[in-house]
Each structure stands twice: as structure tokens, then as C-alpha cells.
Amino acid sequence: MAEKKKTGKIPEIKVSAKKKIVFLGSEAAPFIATGGLADVLGSLPKSIAKNKNYDVSVILPLYSAISTEFKSQFKFLTNFNVAVGWRWQYAGVFFMEHEGVKFYFIDNEYYFKREGNIYGFYDDGERFAFFSRAALDTIARLNIYPDVLHCNDWQTAASVIFLKGMYYGDEKFKRIKTIFTIHNIEYQGIFPMDTFESLFGFSSSLKNFVEFDGNVNLMKGAIEMTDIVSTVSPTYAEEIKNAYYAHGLQDIIKRNAWKLVGILNGIDTDYYNPETDKYLFKNYSAKDLSGKAVCKEELQKLLGLPVKPETPIIAVISRLVSHKGLDLVRSTIESVLAEDVQIVILGKGEIGYENFFNHIAYTYKGKCATIIAYNQDLSRKIYSGADLFLMPSKSEPCGLSQMIASRYGTVPIVRETGGLNDSIKAYDGKSGNGFTFKDYNAHDMLYVINEAIRTYHDKDKWKDVQGRALNTDFSWGASAKEYDKIYSDK
Ligand code: GLC
């Protein structure tokens, strides 16, 4: 990392007369990634920045887990102290420009130098209260006041609350429009009420906004106070008005529905590109899929599965948690394995699922392989080598894996929920780019899996549906235009 210098003068960052967007989030590829949020914050800002009318920045925590390859390129800009409740904590600011986007990193080793994961610590509330406030103070300190502050998920919800509730006395903050994007309403940032002042330092007038069910609820506060709420697919925007999907916030969502929009995420189609992907055994394109056959053969060898080009491989790449619909997989996997198929499972999560899928792989050696890991390299080898991609989520705000699978010619089987519903349409011989079922029901899922297997063996139909999956446009193009619209609306 560039050395910290204590200088009086802050190096100047060139800011143009363009419309300025600052994104806040807790992770962004390629710097730090644990889930879909990182993909979005790694690709949406880049895509917005392609529009030359925009000046785009992202502010992130400086986790120790960020690789030294990047850290060595960071430039130290400034440091100051940030109020965390009644205390003051050090914040350093580092900078790097990457693919047309300005990235600022907030340094505080006490909060962000941690072993293992980037979340899941007893003091996550405090860590992100610090980050949310430090981000606003960075904006003031560096004089990079944006036109739009685009906050993402509970970790940056407090920024909206601070800005709208405590910084609005400052004209420059007052004119900032805020967008709060819900990537997953399950994680709301809920903390005991006694943290309201001591830890977050919220002023008492904000209680009505922030309190929910006797707790501090950061996501609720941000939804109430932001100018625009967005979520990552149109279907999810509707679903979260219902208790089944809203994890308690349905009434808050309904009350704020007038400022709610659902915009489907895209993926970085340059990054996820079978023609250039370095992780693949062999590259291929939508026009010439011969390399995909090699990917399949090598994957089978790698995972100790018999090399059988005519046997469909069904892949699951997922966090092994219940909302991913794994109970349906658990209750039907043996029926599926009774067919001539191979199943590959890659993921990590709840111990119950890990044990179950390990056990199945052991019992069905040569038909099923389970790898308990989060592994980028292997995931690409599976996306490219498999034939079908199973994603039967109970709820799915957007979901990116079904788009990535499609891009590699691996046809998705999904439940019609959230972004899965908006991105994958049932194949009927004339249209559609995958296989879908509606109700959260194991038999319905089994039925479409069998239909997908039958289609796989019908060469013409398979070519047709696979081609439709490969040719669906999952780039950010259309969605970036929709963001452009909400950034520009006054
Ligand atoms: C969360 C959601 C997922 C979405 C991603 C990016 O991880 O669970 O559905 O694709 O955020 O928005």
C-alpha cells in the first residue's frame, strides 16, 4: 500500500462538470467479493461511466483482504477523525482509478483488518456505522459532492439516514439526491435500540424513521428517508409488498411504493465471456460450441465423473442456504439421479446442506460430485462444462448465476421468482430461454427437470433452447439506461 503521509495539502482529484454519481457499498469486484453485490458494484458503475456525461465514483471499506496487487497501486489522499456515536475514530482515504471509475477506500485497521470473512462480526453495526459516516465525511473533505448518492444494502443505509437527517443543514449535502438499492431485504441491519445514539449517533428526531419493532432497523430508516428506493428486478419490487418475501417490511414498502422502482441487474459480459475466459479448459463462442464439449469432458475428468458426452450435467452453484431453494433439491435429488444424469454441486453455507450434499456425492459416486467451497476458477469450469443450471430459489431479488450460466450456454432451470422470473422464460418450442416452474413445490421442479433432460436428448430442440440462452442479452445496456433516467429525473 502507498505510504500514509501526514500532509496538510490534500491531492486534488479532477472532477468535471459532468453529472456526478457516488456509489457506496460494502463490496465491489475486483477488489473484494463475497456475493452478487460485488458483481453489481464492479460492473454497474463501469457501465454508467461509459456514458461520458457521468463522473462515477465508488467508496468502499479498505479491508485487509484486498490483494496487495491493488493495494500497491492505491494513493493516500487524506485522513481525519469520524464520529462513531460519542467516540472519534481514525479514517484514512486511499484512491485508485480503475476502468474509468474512481474508487475511494476508507482505511481503519481496527474495523477492517480482520481475518476470514468481511462480515459476521459482533460489531458489524459499528463497523458500518463508521463506514457510512466516513463516506459522507470523505465527500465533504475532498469536495466531491455528487448529484446522486447511490447506497446499497443495509451496510450503507446509515449514510442515507445521516445525510437526510443530520447533514442537510449543509447546502451541498442538501441538494444530493439519494437512491437506496435493496439487493436483499432479508438482511436489514437490525440492532438493539440502545445503539441508536451511543453507536450510530442518530439525533432523537430520527427515531420514527429508524425504529422498527423496538429495534434500530437501518434498512427501514433508509427506505423511509431516501428519495428513491430501487431493487434489483421488477418482479422483486412487487414481491416485497407481500409478507412472504418482505421479512417484516411489507407495510413500509407499500407505504413507500410511490418511490420504488425495480431494475434488473446485468452482468459484465466482457468479464463473463466464454471466448476469452482464462479459467476455461477451452474457449468457445455462441457460434462455435466445439470448445464447450472439451470443457465438459475435462470437467468430468477433474471431478472423477465418467466421461460421457451424451449424459447431461446438471449444475448447482450457490450459497448453500435455505432461500436458494435447496430443500427442493434435497427432496428430489435421488429421483433425478435415477436418470442418466450427472449432478455437480459447488457452494458453501449451512452445515446441514453441506453434509447432505457430501453424503449424496459419496453414495452416488460417479454420478454426483460435491465441492464445498467458494471457488471462482472451479465455478467457471462448471458454468462452461455443464449442460443445465439448476436455481430453484425460494426468493431471488435478482440472481446473476442464471445469467452467467446462459452466457456459457448452460441452460437454466429456475423457479419463477424475482429476477429469475424477469430473466428466464419457459421454452415452449418457439420461444423461451430455459425451463421454469411456478410454485415452490418439489414435484413441479422434478417435472421440469425431467422435461429439460428430455429436451437435452432432442438434438434440434436442444440446439434451439441453448442458442436462445446464449443469445439473450444480459449486459447492463438496457438497465444502465433506466438508471440514467432515475439519476436524471429531478
Ligand atoms: C443479492 C441477491 C441476489 C442479487 C444480488 C445483486 O445477493 O440475493 O439475488 O442478484 O444481490 O443485486
Q: What is the 3-state secondary structure (H, E, C) of the chain?
A: CCCCCCCCCCCCCCCCCCEEEEEECCCECCCECCCHHHHHHHHHHHHHHCCCCEEEEEEEECCCCCCHHHHCCCEEEEEEEEEECCEEEEEEEEEEEECCEEEEEEECHHHHCCCCCCCCCCCHHHHHHHHHHHHHHHHHHHCCCCCEEEEECHHHHHHHHHHHHHCCCCHHHHCCEEEEEECCCCCCCEEECCHHHHCCCCCHHHHHHHEECCEEEHHHHHHHHCCEEEECCHHHHHHCCCHHHHCCCHHHHHHCHHHEEECCCCCCCCCCCCCCCCCCCCCCCCCCCHHHHHHHHHHHHHCCCCCCCCCCEEEEECCECHHHCHHHHHHHHHHHHCCCCEEEEEECECHHHHHHHHHHHHHCCCCEEEEECCCHHHHHHHHHHCCEEEECCCCCCCCCHHHHHHHCCCEEEEECCHHHHHHCCECCCCCCCEEEECCCCHHHHHHHHHHHHHHHHCHHHHHHHHHHHHHCCCCCHHHHHHHHHHHHCC
377-400: pLDDT as tens digits: 999 999 999 999 999 999 999 999
Tell me if the bond preceding 30 is cis, omega within 30° of 0: yes
Span from the CA of 229 to the centroid of ligand 1 (angstroms): 15
Check pLDDT > 70 for residue 13.
Answer: no
The pLDDT confidence band at residue 91, using thresholds 50, 70 and 90, is very high
CATH number at residue 363: 3.40.50.2000
* Mean pLDDT for the stretch of residues 190-204: 95
* The pLDDT value given to residue 8: 58
Check pLDDT > 80 for residue 337.
Answer: yes
- Among protein residues, the one with the nearest Cα to ligand 1's atom 10 is 399
Whether residue 161 is found in the same domain as residue 305: no
Span from the CA of 396 to the centroid of ligand 1 (angstroms): 7
- Among protein residues, the one with the nearest Cα to ligand 1's atom 11 is 183
Check pLDDT > 70 for residue 17.
Answer: no
* Mean pLDDT for the stretch of residues 251-280: 97
Nearest-10 crossing angle of helices 218-225, 157-166 = 50
Pairing of the two strands 215-217 and 342-347? unpaired
Whether residue 78 is found in the same domain as residue 184: yes
Whether residue 252 is found in the same domain as residue 306: no
What's the CA gap between 191 and 90, in Å, rounded?
23
Number of structural domains the chain divides into: 2
Could you tell which of 265, 323, 414 is best to mutate to test the pocket of ligand 1, judged by most ligand atoms within 8 Å of the CB?
A: 265
* The pLDDT value given to residue 12: 63
The answer to whether residue 135 sits within a structural domain is yes
Whether residue 327 is found in the same domain as residue 257: no
Span from the CA of 42 to the centroid of ligand 1 (angstroms): 13
- Residue reference for cell 437512491: 179
The pLDDT confidence band at residue 3, using thresholds 50, 70 and 90, is very low
Check pLDDT > 90 for residue 6.
Answer: no
What average pLDDT does the chain have?
Answer: 95
* Mean pLDDT for the stretch of residues 303-314: 98
Could you tell which of 150, 151, 184 is best to mutate to test the pocket of ligand 1, judged by most ligand atoms within 8 Å of the CB?
A: 184
* The pLDDT value given to residue 489: 81
What's the CA gap between 4 and 265, in Å, rounded?
37
Enumerate residues lining ligand 1, CB below 6 A. 35-37, 40, 183-184, 232, 265, 396-400, 419
The answer to whether residue 276 sits within a structural domain is no
Whether residue 436 is found in the same domain as residue 483: no
Span from the CA of 60 to the centroid of ligand 1 (angstroms): 18
Please state the atom number of ligand 1 nearest to the C-alpha of residue 400: 10
Whether residue 147 is found in the same domain as residue 48: yes
Whether residue 80 is found in the same domain as residue 203: yes
The answer to whether residue 101 sits within a structural domain is yes
Span from the CA of 86 to the centroid of ligand 1 (angstroms): 34
Check pLDDT > 60 for residue 1.
Answer: no
Cβ(92)–Cβ(76) under 8 Å?
yes
The answer to whether residue 12 sits within a structural domain is no
**pLDDT above 70 coverage of the chain, percent:** 96
Whether residue 318 is found in the same domain as residue 452: yes
What's the CA gap between 403 and 398, in Å, rounded?
10
* The pLDDT value given to residue 389: 99
**Domain region containing 339:** 290-471
The answer to whether residue 228 sits within a structural domain is yes
* Mean pLDDT for the stretch of residues 8-18: 64
Whether residue 97 is found in the same domain as residue 243: yes
* The pLDDT value given to residue 18: 87
CA angle, corner 451, sides to 433 and 292, nearest 5?
Answer: 55
Span from the CA of 402 to the centroid of ligand 1 (angstroms): 12
Could you tell which of 41, 186, 232 is best to mutate to test the pocket of ligand 1, judged by most ligand atoms within 8 Å of the CB?
A: 232
Check pLDDT > 60 for residue 302.
Answer: yes
Span from the CA of 142 to the centroid of ligand 1 (angstroms): 31
399-456: pLDDT as tens digits: 999 999 999 999 999 999 999 999 999 999 999 999 999 999 999 999 999 999 999 9
The pLDDT confidence band at residue 14, using thresholds 50, 70 and 90, is low
Check pLDDT > 90 for residue 10.
Answer: no
Whether residue 119 is found in the same domain as residue 252: yes
* Mean pLDDT for the stretch of residues 122-143: 97
The answer to whether residue 1 sits within a structural domain is no
> What is the distance of C-alpha 23 from the center of its chain?
14
Whether residue 310 is found in the same domain as residue 200: no
* The pLDDT value given to residue 368: 98
Whether residue 297 is found in the same domain as residue 209: no
Number of residues assigned to the chain: 490
The pLDDT confidence band at residue 11, using thresholds 50, 70 and 90, is low
The answer to whether residue 274 sits within a structural domain is no
What's the CA gap between 95 and 194, in Å, rounded?
35
The answer to whether residue 76 sits within a structural domain is yes
